[in-house]
Amino acid sequence: MLSRTLVPAFLAIGALSACATATIERPAPVGQAEQRAPVTILISIDGFRADYLQRGVTPNLAVLASGGIEAPMRPSFPTKTFPNHWAIVTGDRPDRNGIIANSMEDDSRPDEKFTMASDDPYWWNDAEPIWVTAEKAGVRTATMFWPGSNVPWGGSQDKDWPRAIHGGTRPSDWAQFNQQISGTQRVNMVLDVLRRPADIRPRFVTLYFDTVDTAGHVKGPDAPETTQAIADVDAHIGDLVAGLKAMGQPANLVILADHGMAARSTDRIIALDTIANPADYRIVESGPYASIVAVPGHERKLEAALLKPAAHMQCWRKAEIPARFHYGTHRRIPPYFCLGETGWEIQASMPKGTVSGGNHGWDDRAPEMQALFIAKGPAFAKGAKTPADGFANVDVYPLLARLIGVSPRASDGDPAALSGLLAR
């Protein structure tokens, strides 16, 4: 059977819950409140650098952090949005989860390029996301945005009609990403699904905010506009917590970010055409890092120019990228890879205009790339601490599996890293 719905399922929630309320809700007897099972809510605040919490504009996050667990979290490399969101929900780093960049190529699909709008499961099928594991185990899930959550995971493209996908699993409720849907609407949609009768209420929910990342890119991490965006999202978190409380819904909240943000500047640009001859290569991605393909037959000339020491940047053959990045084996990673020093961008040539604002994608150990992590809820042990030597975002996956009550797949995530956070 061909299946690919074009209707954002989450947008039908209001109608569905109204109908369900009229027909199958079994209210608790008068005077007896329903005992609700805790829901796990995974919240991503895109680009929320770990130290943004210290700006004094996040009273709601501060309450959750002080009553729960808070620590900087190490993202996966490269510190980009799609690779990291996929790492968090699959437990596999980009090199294994297949989403090695926000934009990528694959020799098996020579006429296509993956972009943040690609929902063909071909690109995503390397690693199973936790909502698929949960749905298969009979645990209902809902995603109020998350990269990859609109993908019929595990499905395959029809060979004669590429727009059709056979099979695949999505969250029971999901929505097509749309930046125009406000933070208030996103929070209300999450609260709405949790108002449903128990038999159609999700036990795992995701929620995603993009405005802190956008402000960080446009104005830079230190700009007042970015601080305002941080304060606005904090208010949305406050509304979510208040809404949960009002309906008596216990929740285990895991609030995190995919990466941090560093300032960029006209003074910190590396122009690739001053290092190698553009006739010898093609750039796949540029910015905090550049991924490069040699023009066939020009490999030696390119290597002679690229692999020698350069100021503020280092380049490698993909197989020689240092092991600490855990990056370089996936077929989608181009043959040559250059990484800028944090804050330095690699561009095809020197840009004509001013370069300002912020970016991310640099070394996952750079302080500016460290991400928010807060956990709070009945499942967490009081006074628990994250490991003193830090933890990686892939370690969140086995924690989520335990919170939801499903068996995690073997992954790059260390189940022991965050197991001490859970109350026994």
Question: Does residue 213 touch ligand AMP according to CB under 6 A?
Answer: yes
Out of Zn ion, ligand AMP, none, what residue 179 binds, judged by CB under 5 to 8 A for its kind, is: ligand AMP
Count of alpha carbons within 13 angstroms of residue 71, beta-carbon side = 18
Nearer to Zn ion, 92 or 213 (CB): 213
Question: Does residue 179 touch ligand AMP according to CB under 6 A?
Answer: yes
Active site residue 81: yes
Question: Does residue 413 touch ligand AMP according to CB under 6 A?
Answer: no
# chain residues binding ligand AMP, by CB under 6 A: 13
Question: Does residue 46 touch ligand AMP according to CB under 6 A?
Answer: yes
Q: What is the 3-state secondary structure (H, E, C) of 4-56?
A: CCCCCHHHHHHHHHHHHHHHCCCCCCCCCCCCCCCEEEEEEECCCEHHHHHHC
Report which residue's Cβ sits closest to ligand AMP: 81
Q: How far is the CB of 310 from ligand AMP (least distance, A)?
A: 25
Which amino acid does the sequence have at 321? I
Q: How far apart are CA 14 and CA 395, in angstroms?
A: 35
- Are 46 and 210 in contact by the 8 Å Cβ rule? The answer is yes
Nearer to ligand AMP, 189 or 421 (CB): 189
Choose which of 81, 133, 149, 249 interacts with Zn ion (CB under 5 A).
81
Out of Zn ion, ligand AMP, none, what residue 94 binds, judged by CB under 5 to 8 A for its kind, is: none
Question: Does residue 103 touch ligand AMP according to CB under 6 A?
Answer: no
* Pairing assessment for the beta strands 262-263 and 281-285 based on DSSP bridges: unpaired
Question: Does residue 204 touch ligand AMP according to CB under 6 A?
Answer: no
Contact window for Zn ion (CB under 5 A) among 23-31, 257-265, 345-353, 387-395 = 257-265
Question: Does residue 114 touch ligand AMP according to CB under 6 A?
Answer: no
Q: Alpha carbon of 66 to those of 259, 326, 395: distances in Å?
A: 22, 33, 22
Alpha-carbon torsion 258, 259, 264, 268, what sign?
A: negative
Choose which of 40, 81, 169, 206 interacts with ligand AMP (CB under 6 A).
81
Total number of residues shown for the chain = 424
Touching ligand AMP, residues 142-171 (CB under 6 A):
145, 147
Closest-CA residue to 371 (of 269, 286, 254, 290): 254
Query: Quick check: helix, strand or coil at residue 292?
Result: strand
Annotated catalytic residue, options 40, 58, 79, 81: 81
Q: How far apart are CA 178 and CA 55, in angstroms?
A: 29
Out of Zn ion, ligand AMP, none, what residue 246 binds, judged by CB under 5 to 8 A for its kind, is: none
Question: Does residue 80 touch ligand AMP according to CB under 6 A?
Answer: yes
Contacts for 278 with CB less than 8 Å, ≥ 6 apart? 272, 348
Contact window for Zn ion (CB under 5 A) among 76-84, 227-235, 340-348, 410-418 = 76-84
Nearer to ligand AMP, 76 or 81 (CB): 81
Q: How far is the CB of 145 from ligand AMP (least distance, A)?
A: 5
Q: What is the 3-state secondary structure (H, E, C) of 113-178?
A: CECCCCCCHHHHCCCCCHHHHHHHCCCCEEEECCCCCCCCECCEECCCCCCCEECCECCCECCCCC
Strand partners, 287: 346
- 31 backbone φψ class: left, alpha, beta (φ>0; ψ -120 to 50): left
Choose which of 214, 265, 347, 419 interacts with ligand AMP (CB under 6 A).
214
Q: How far is the CB of 195 from ligand AMP (least distance, A)?
A: 24
Choose which of 70, 192, 210, 364 interacts with ligand AMP (CB under 6 A).
210
What is residue 272's DSSP assignment? Answer: G
Nearer to ligand AMP, 73 or 294 (CB): 73
Closest-CA residue to 423 (of 402, 406, 394): 402
Question: Does residue 102 touch ligand AMP according to CB under 6 A?
Answer: yes
Residues forming the active site = 81
**Interface residues toward Zn ion, by CB under 5 A:** 46-47, 81, 213, 258
Q: Residue numbers of the site for ligand AMP (CB under 6 A)?
A: 46, 80-81, 102, 116-117, 145, 147, 177, 179, 210, 213-214
